[in-house]
Structure 1
């Protein structure tokens, strides 16, 4: 299951090596973007954002 990142204004800025992983993480709802239209792939994640991603992973992927 993967999602297209072109719904985000900056989806094309995701590095080639990370595209498949970002498409999967977005499709699974782990990473939903900084806003509804931006991912900010060249930015940094805060501790709270990483904690949210890990929590979503544990709740929804690891069974």
Structure 2
């Protein structure tokens, strides 16, 4: 039972880290858009988070799989 909780905690922490990094990337992108005086909608913000999270998960999977 403790092993299951340990695995769930690792997954939860990993997800939080991925979301945090994606959020930071989206905020930087939003700042660049505002700096260039362009519109950055809420939909674009969440799409940026989703794309960044997917890229992080793909790259981390490649690192753990030994490809990189």
Which TM-score applies when normalising by structure 2? 0.30
Which TM-score applies when normalising by structure 1? 0.31
Larger-Rg structure: 2
Compare the two structures and name the one with the higher helix fraction.
Answer: 2
